[in-house]
Amino acid sequence: MTRIPYRRPDDMTERARELTLERGNLNVYRVLANAEKVYPGWMLAGRAALTSPVLSRRLRELVTLHTAYLMDCPYELGQHKDIARTAGLTDSDIKAVISDSDWQTAGFNAVELAILRLTSELVTQHGASAELVDQVHTELGSEATVEVLMIIGRYAGLALMLNALDVDLDETARLPTLPTTT
Amino acid sequence: MSRIPLVNLDQQPESIRQWAASRGNLNVFRLLANAPRMFGGWTEMVDELFASPTFDARMRELIILRVAHPQASPYELGQHVPLARSAGLTDQQIDAIMGAGDLDKAGFGRADRVALDVVTELCTTHHLSDECFAAAHAIFGDDPFTELLMITSCYYGLALVLNAADLDVDVAGEPA
For range B105-123, the mean pLDDT: 98
Task: CATH number of the domain at A148, please.
Answer: 1.20.1290.10
Residue A182 banded pLDDT, cuts 50, 70, 90: confident
Among the partner-chain residues B40, B49, B133, the one whose CB lies closest to the CB of A48 is B40
Assigned domain for A26 exists: yes
Residues A45 and A62 in one domain: no
Give A104's DSSP letter: G
For the stretch A59-118, pLDDT in tens is 999 999 999 999 999 999 999 999 999 999 999 999 999 999 999 999 999 999 999 999
pLDDT in tens, A49-67: 999 999 999 999 999 999 9
The structural domains of chain B, ordered by start, are 9-51 (no CATH), 57-165 (1.20.1290.10)
- Any domain includes A13: yes
Q: What is the pLDDT of residues A134-144, one digit of tens each?
A: 999 999 999 99
Query: Do A105 and A28 sit in the same domain of this protein?
Result: no
Examine residue A77 and state whether it is found in any structural domain, yes or no.
yes
The closest CB to that of A159, out of B54, B126, B154, belongs to B126
- Both A13 and A67 in a single domain? no
Among the listed residues A46, A57, A123, A121, the one whose alpha carbon sits nearest the alpha carbon of residue A84:
A57
Helices (H) and strands (E) in chain B, counts: 9, 0
Residue A164, pLDDT score: 98
Q: What percent of chain A has pLDDT over 70?
A: 100
Q: Is A27 a domain residue?
A: yes
- Exposure of A174 by Cβ count < 10 A (0-12 exposed, 13-18 middle, 19+ buried)? middle
Average pLDDT, chain B: 96
Contacts of A143 in chain B (CB under 8 A): 34-36
Number of domains in chain A: 2
Amino acid at B115: A
Question: Within this chain, do residues A73 and A118 fall inside the same structural domain, yes or no?
Answer: yes
Q: With CB atoms and an 8 Å threshold, state whether A133 touches B4.
A: yes
Give the Cα-Cα-Cα angle B62, A40, A127 (nearest 5 degrees): 50
Domain extent, residue A30, equals 9-51
Residues A83 and A13 in one domain: no
Confidence tier at B80 by pLDDT (50, 70, 90): very high
Same domain, A21 and A89: no
Same domain membership, residue A137 and residue A65 = yes
> Do residues A61 and A97 share a domain?
yes
Q: A179 lies in a domain?
A: no
Q: Could you give the 3-state DSSP secondary structure of residue A141?
A: helix
| Predicted ipTM > 0.95 | yes
Does some domain include residue A175? no
From B18's Cα to the closest Cα of chain A, the distance in A is 18
Residue A66, in any domain of the structure: yes
Task: Name A118's Cβ contacts closer than 8 Å, sequence gap at least 6.
Answer: A128, A132, A133, A136, A148, A152, B164
Its pTM stands at 0.97
- The confidence band for B176, taking pLDDT boundaries of 50, 70 and 90, is very low
Residues A61, A116 within the same domain: yes
Per-residue pLDDT, B171: 84
Model confidence band, residue A181 (pLDDT cutoffs 50, 70, 90)? confident
Residues A27, A45 share a domain: yes
Question: Is A64 found in the same domain as A39?
Answer: no
> Residue A70 domain-assigned?
yes
Task: With CB atoms and an 8 Å threshold, state whether B38 touches A156.
Answer: no
Residues A122 and A32 in one domain: no
Query: Across residues B49-66, what is the average pLDDT?
Result: 98
